[in-house]
Structure 1
Amino acid sequence: MKDFQLFEEAKWVIDTLENNNHKAYFVGGSVRDYLMGRALSDVDITTSALPDDVELLFGRTIPIGKEHGTIIVLGNNQQYEVTTFRKDGDYVDHRRPQSVQFVTDLYEDVARRDFTMNAIAMDTSYQLHDYFNGYQDIQSKIIRAVGTPLDRMEEDALRIMRGIRFQAQTNFDIDPETLSAMQQTAYGLSHIAIERVIVELKKFIQGRYVEKSIHTINRVSVFENLPFFNKINHRDMFVPLESNFEMWIASLCFIYQIDTTELQQLKISNEEKREIKAYIDIFNFFNQDTILKTELVQLIYKYGNIKVKNCISLIQQHERQISIQYDPFIMNLTIIDNIYDKLPIYNKSDLSVDGKILMQAFNRNGGPWLKVILNKVEHAVILNKVNNSKHEIIEWVREHVEI
C-alpha cells in the first residue's frame, strides 16, 4: 500500500476519538516511514483517551496491552494499535519501567520514546507535531536519541540494538552523543532477554546497509555483552552481507568451530536450529577436498537448491572469511538448479512404493527392515539407479537388497 492510503483508511479511528473530546494522532514508525518515503505496513495511534474509553467508543476491540494503555481497534480489513498518552516510571533491569502513568499531554508521551525519528506525531491534516526535530534528523540522515542520550540508553539497553538496526536499514549516521551513550551503556545488553535481542538482530542482518552498522557494533562492543556471541574470541566478528539470521549463525559456528549445543543460549525455535544445522552441513560439505557428483546430488535432494545456492553465494562473497575455496565448476548456481530440476523425486513420500506395498510384495510383516529398504530405495531413485516405478523398484530390491 503506497503513500498515505493507510492513513486515509485509519482516519475514522482518530475522528471517532476527536468527536468524543479526545486528542489523537498518528505516531511512531508509520509516520517515520511515511516521511522517508518507505512502504507502510500498519498505522499506530496515540490518544488522550483512557483504555476504558477506547473500548467504549469502538465496537470491536482487543485489550492486547490494556494495563500499558494499548487497545487494538478492529476495522473492516485492518487493525489499529491505539495507545493512551503515557509516561514511564523508573526503569529496572535496563529494560522495563516500574510503572506507567497515563497523561493528557502529547509532549510527555513522545518524550519517552527512543529516537527523534520515532517521536513524531501527525494529525489527520498531515501536520507534524515534532517536539524533538525528528523530521530534521530524518532529512539530515541522523539517528539521535530523544532528550538526553545517556538517560535513554540507561533506561532501556535494547535501544542500542534498535539504533544499530535502524542504521542497517536506513544508512543513517548515529549522532556522536548518542553513539557515546551506547558505548557507555552496552553492558546493559547482558540484562536484556536474548529473545528480544534476536528480534533486532534478525532485522539488522537483513538490512541493506549492514556493512555500515558493523563498524558501529564493534565500536559499541555489542557482541561482548550477548550470550553465544561472547563465546567468540574475535574482535571483528564475521557479519555477512545479504544474508539471513540462520545462515549467519551457521557461518559463525563453522568459522569459529562452535558446537551446536551452544545454540541453546539463543533460545530460538527448534525449526530455526534445524535450519542452522542444515547450513552448517552444507558449509562442511563444500569444505571437503574432493566432492563427487553423486554426493552433490544427495546434498541438493536433502536440503533443496535454495539453501545450497545461498551458501554458495555467501562463500563466493566472503571466501576469505569463511575459508572455503570457491570452485566455479562445482559451486555453480546453474548446475545446482539443473541437478535440482532433474531430481526424480523431492521427498520420500514421492516414491511409488511404501511400507504396505513392500510388505505385500515380499510377504513379510512390518519391522525395522522396512525403514532400511525404503532408505536404500530412496537413495537409488535419486541417483537414477532405478526408475521411480512400483514394478521396477520391487525388482531392483529383489536383485540388490538382502531381505
Structure 2
Amino acid sequence: MFIPNDVKMILDTLKSNGYEAYIVGGSIRDFINGTLLPKDYDIATNALTGDVIKLFDKTVPTGIKHGTVTVMISGEGFEVTTYRIDGEYLDNRRPEGVIFVSNLKQDLARRDFTINAMAFNEQQGVIDYFGGIEDLNNKTIRAVGEPNKRFQEDALRMLRAIRFAARLDFEIEEKTLKAISENSNLILNISSERTRDELCKMLVSNSSTKALMLLEETRLLEFILPELQKTVGFNQKNPHHDKDVFQHSLAVVENCPRSLNLRIAGLLHDIAKPLCFTMDENGIGHFYGHDKKGAILSEQILKRLKFDNQSVCKIRILVKEHMNVLAKPTDASVKRLINRVGVDLLGDLFALQRADALGSYLPEIRLGEIHKMEERTLAILESKVPISIKDIAVKGEDLISEFSLKPGKEIGAMLKFLLDKVLENPELNSKDELLAMIYDEYME
C-alpha cells in the first residue's frame, strides 16, 4: 500500500517509541478495491493522547475526550486516535463516552462495516479480523458483528450502507439490509444536516437510482422524504409517460449531469404530481399546476433538510420552470424566461428539461423543442437586447423625479410594465418613449 511520507513518519515515530500504529478505515478499503487513491489516512494506536502530544512538535487536541489528536505536518492534519471501545449510545448517534483499550481488534470491532474495519502497517500488512477483504472481493456491504446493534448505536450508518452500495456498486448483505428496514425509524434521531449530507453524496454517486431504490426498499425514504414516498407506484395514466412518478423521477436524476443542485431538482421536479392529479373524461391523467406547487413544496423540503438559501432558490426556480418548453417560442416569451430564470441558470434548466424528456415516453419531439428554445435563447443573448429591468432606459429614480412619486411598490409595478413593453418591442427602449408610456398609462 502506498503511504505518503508524512503518514509514514507518524507511524515510524510511534513504533520507534514502543507503540503500535496502523492506518485504519476507508483508505485501506479504497486502496484494496482499487477504486480511488486514498485521500484521508486515519491512524490508530495504543498510545494515549498525552503520549501522542509529547511525541510530535505540533498537535491539535481535536477530540481528546474520544482519544483523537490531530498531528500537524507542513500545514496538513492527520488524525491519530487511541484504540477504544464505545460507551453506551443513548441518542442513536454518539456514545456517551469511550473506554481506551490496548487491543487493536477491540477497536476495529466497534466500526460500521467489514470493509471499513481493516488496519495496515508495513510490518504486518493488512489486518483483517472480520472478513473485509472477502466482502470487498464479493462486492458486499456487511455490518461488523450484529447489524441491529450497529444501527441502534448510530442510525446514520444505515444511510452510509446505502451510500457505499451506490458508490461502489456493491450489494448489501441480507441480514444487514433487513436490519436497516427494521430500524429505519431511528433515522429521525439523526440531524437534518447529517441526513442531507448523505443524501447529497448518494445523488452524485455512480448509481443514484440504486441508492434511491434502496432508500425506498428499506423504508428510510418515508422518514427522510415522505413527499417523495407518495410518488412510489403513482400511475400517471398519461400517454407521455411509461413509468410511475417515482420511477420517472429516478430516470430524470440519472439523466442529469452530476451537478448536485441539478440532480436535486431532477428528484423533486414532479414532487407535487400526486397532489395535482386529475383525470379527464377519456381516462387521461393531468397534473395542472404541479410545477408551481412543486416549487413551493421543494422549498419546504430543502429548508427542512437545512440546505443553504442560494441552493434552495436555484432549485425552486428549476422546478418551477421545468415545464416551460415552447413548441413555437417567440422572442418575447424567451426573453421573459431568461428574465425569470437568470442567465447563469439557463444551462441547468435546459439540462433538466432534456433529462425530463429522456425519462418520458417517446422523447424526440420534446427534445427537438428544447433544442429550438436553446438556439433562440442563445441568439437573444448574443444580440444584447434588453431582457431585464436593469436593461431598460428608465430607472426607478427617473420615475420618482419625473412624476414626484415616493419609493414603493408602485415604482416596481411601473418598471415591470415598461419591461413587458420593451420585451415585446426593443425599439421602445428610450427614456422619452418609456416616460411617455408611464404618463399615458398611469398619470392621465
5+ unaligned residues in a row in structure 2: which ranges? Answer: 234-243, 276-293
How much has 1:105 moved relative to structure 2? 1.7
Kept after mapping to 2: 8 A contact 1:377/1:393: no
How much has 1:315 moved relative to structure 2? 0.7
Residue identity in the other structure for 1:30: S
Match of 1:241 among 241, 251, 254: 254
Show CA shifts across 1:92-112 (max 9, x none).
232222221122222111111
How much has 1:128 moved relative to structure 2? 1.0
The farther-off stretch of 188-197 and 297-306 is 297-306
Show CA shifts across 1:87-139 (max 9, x none).
11222232222221122222111111111111111214682111112122112
1:300 aligns with 2:338: yes
How much has 1:353 moved relative to structure 2? 6.8
5+ unaligned residues in a row in structure 1: which ranges? Answer: none
1:29 aligns with 2:26: yes
Mapping 1:77-226, distance limit 5 Å: 77-124=75-122, 127-226=125-224
Kept after mapping to 1: 8 A contact 2:92/2:152: yes
Kept after mapping to 1: 8 A contact 2:58/2:71: yes
CA distance in 1, matches of 2:75, 2:424: 50
Determine the structure 2 residue equivalent to 1:273: 312
Determine the structure 2 residue equivalent to 1:253: 271
Kept after mapping to 1: 8 A contact 2:92/2:190: yes
Kept after mapping to 2: 8 A contact 1:228/1:265: no
Determine the structure 2 residue equivalent to 1:40: 38
Match of 1:397 among 412, 416, 434: 434
CA distance in 1, matches of 2:64, 2:216: 39
CA distance in 1, matches of 2:421, 2:82: 64
Residue identity in the other structure for 1:241: E
Relative to structure 1, is the Cα distance of residues 228 and 113 closer, same or farther in structure 2, using a 3 angstrom cutoff?
same
Kept after mapping to 2: 8 A contact 1:95/1:156: yes
Determine the structure 1 residue equivalent to 2:360: 319
Using the aligned pairs only, state the percent identity.
Answer: 26
Show CA shifts across 1:42-64 (max 9, x none).
22222222233333333333333
Relative to structure 1, is the Cα distance of residues 165 and 376 closer, same or farther in structure 2, using a 3 angstrom cutoff?
same
Number of residue-to-residue matches in the alignment: 393
Show CA shifts across 1:342-392 (max 9, x none).
2628996975978598489959787347655665676677778159xxxx7
Relative to structure 1, is the Cα distance of residues 385 and 162 closer, same or farther in structure 2, using a 3 angstrom cutoff?
same
The farther-off stretch of 217-226 and 172-181 is 217-226
Kept after mapping to 2: 8 A contact 1:120/1:131: yes
CA distance in 2, matches of 1:200, 1:206: 10
CA distance in 2, matches of 1:61, 1:345: 59
The farther-off stretch of 335-344 and 271-280 is 335-344
CA distance in 2, matches of 1:87, 1:401: 75
Relative to structure 1, is the Cα distance of residues 55 and 345 closer, same or farther in structure 2, using a 3 angstrom cutoff?
farther
Relative to structure 1, is the Cα distance of residues 123 and 330 closer, same or farther in structure 2, using a 3 angstrom cutoff?
same
Kept after mapping to 2: 8 A contact 1:305/1:336: no
Determine the structure 2 residue equivalent to 1:335: 375
Residue identity in the other structure for 1:113: R
Kept after mapping to 1: 8 A contact 2:93/2:156: yes
How much has 1:142 moved relative to structure 2? 1.1
Show CA shifts across 1:222-257 (max 9, x none).
212225447736358443315435314532434444
CA distance in 1, matches of 2:416, 2:149: 61
Show CA shifts across 1:155-178 (max 9, x none).
222211111111111111111221
Kept after mapping to 2: 8 A contact 1:14/1:25: yes
1:11 aligns with 2:29: no
CA distance in 1, matches of 2:360, 2:312: 24
Relative to structure 1, is the Cα distance of residues 106 and 307 closer, same or farther in structure 2, using a 3 angstrom cutoff?
same
What RMSD over aligned residues (CA atoms) do the two structures have, in Å? 3.6
- SS of 1:4's equivalent in the other structure is coil
The farther-off stretch of 34-43 and 162-171 is 34-43
CA distance in 1, matches of 2:323, 2:364: 12
Residue identity in the other structure for 2:300: E
TM-score by length of 2: 0.75
Kept after mapping to 2: 8 A contact 1:64/1:70: yes
CA distance in 2, matches of 1:100, 1:346: 64
CA distance in 1, matches of 2:187, 2:217: 15
Kept after mapping to 2: 8 A contact 1:194/1:227: no
